Structure 1
Amino acid sequence: MKHQLATMLELQNGMNTKVHADWREQKFEWYRAIWVECAELLDHYGWKWWKKQTPDVDQIALELVDIWHFGLSLLLLKGYSVEDITAIVEDEFSNPKSGGDFAIDLEHFTERTLSTKDFDVSGFARLMVGINMDFETLYVGYVGKNVLNFFRQDHGYQDGSYQKQWGGVEDNEHLVDIVAQLDTSAGDFKDELYKRMEARYKELHG
């Protein structure tokens, strides 16, 4: 877990720095980003009693990955070392228990986010348990999303020259395909993923 967390923290700091070189001094409202994501997550879970709804677990997992981005940013803001953050996460993830009602667990997590303006690691772990999401799934989803964001930025996303369709297939789908071909436990997973994406992008765009 320590190596995986180190990779994610490096990526998060890198993406935050890409957005603003002095991101730590900007007083961005990371907690606000978390509770907004919580509202979106609840929509994917379903709460409307006046129509039939089935939880979209894949979308819920994606929303949890997004929340993790903001949570890591809050942990980094505290000045914690990788070792400190690893100890916190390992402790809170060691034996989380679902409250038995995902929507209620989500509301408790949201309430704590709003009252503390901080990241409730234990509450987040409880939400993962609620959809049977393990740490490996969180890691792979997180790294994939970050590498794709970096790739887009590096290939003209801001000036509009980037093409999301590669040979008629959206980049998200290429990402999933490439990740499936890689050893996600390898130390160079994120670097190899970027290289493979670049090779395919060049192959399909010349």
Structure 2
Amino acid sequence: MNGVDDVIFKSRLQSMLELQDGINSKIRPDWRNANNAWFRAIWTECAELVDHIGWKWWKHQSPDILQVHLELVDIFHFGLSELLQQHGTPNAATTQLLSAYVVYGKRSGAGVDDSTARITLVEAFATFVLTTRRFDLAGFCELASAVGLEEQTLYEMYVGKNVLNAFRQDHGYKAGTYIKTWDGREDNVWLVEFAAGLDKNPTTFAVELYGQLSKKYAEVMRDR
């Protein structure tokens, strides 16, 4: 890492950790004492990841790379949660995440075109998680690189998913009162549209994206 790239990368990591701490606290204020099985959430996501890569030899399948990326983003939520639980604060956890940049720097963009090779990487990652009951940070970075999920895209997709999850929680999702379809389009479709028009500055992106969702949802509720 060097220069502005180092600063931007660290800022993104810090932002994601703070957002993860926020959504976990929203769901349960004392989440660090809940003994959540992050590893179990991670390996079950791996099964969905393999499905989107395509493993069924008896039928034609093409990898759905967007869904593969989304599954990795879901896994990253749980991985960040474990790191926060281990290190206590986003600042402390950022240091460990920064070390993973070495992996990204060497492998980012290399990609692996063969589905069998990608599945082998997923299975190695899942095996580590199941055996150690820990998030495999280096393995995650290798997986992300193998399917072309670069750091900036991971950051943007992560922030989008996290902000939408927080927005839903704040507007009655758990109570069953949240309206998911706005003017004939699901909220996640609006999310993608709003995110595309915003600057991805780590200090403002999440707040501005939440604001766009709030503005549209207020219109939907007013017109009901």
TM-score under structure 2 normalisation?
0.87
Shift of 1:94: 2.6
CA separation of 1:118 and 1:168: change in aligned 2, threshold 3 A: same
What corresponds to 2:119 in structure 1?
103
- Which residue of structure 2 aligns with residue 154 of structure 1? 170
Counterparts of 1:98 and 1:203 in 2: how far apart (Å)? 43
What's the Cα RMSD here? 1.6
- Cα deviation for residue 82 of structure 1 reads 4.1
Matches within 5 A, 1:106-185: 106-185=122-201
Paired with 2:18 and 2:46, the residues of 1 have a C-alpha distance of 25
Does 2:67 correspond to 1:59? yes
Local SS of the residue matching 2:87: coil
**What residue identity is the alignment partner of 1:29?**
A
Matched letter for residue 87 of structure 1 = L
Match of 2:105?
Answer: 94
Asked if residue 194 in structure 1 is aligned to residue 210 in structure 2, the reply is yes
Q: Which residue of 1 aligns with 2:30?
A: 22
Q: Secondary structure at the match of 2:100?
A: helix
What is the distance in 2 between the residues matched to 1:87 and 1:127? 17
Q: How many angstroms does 1:126 deviate by?
A: 1.1
Instruction: Give deviations 1:98-156, integer Å, cap 9, x for gaps.
Output: 67610101111111111111111111111111111101110111100010011111111
Cα deviation for residue 189 of structure 1 reads: 0.5
| Paired residues, number | 206
Larger deviation: 184-193 or 73-82?
A: 73-82
Gaps of 5+ in 2: 1-8
Deviations 1:12-46 (A, max 9, x none): 11111122211111111100100000011101111
Where does structure 1 lack aligned partners over 5 or more consecutive residues? none
Query: Which of the numbers 27, 31, 36 marks the counterpart of 2:44?
Result: 36
Regions of 4+ moved over 4 Å: 97-100
AA aligned opposite 2:72: L
Higher relative contact order by CA 8 Å / sep ≥ 6: 1 or 2?
2
SS state at 2:59 partner: coil
Identity, in percent, stands at 46
Q: Normalized against structure 1, the TM-score is what?
A: 0.94
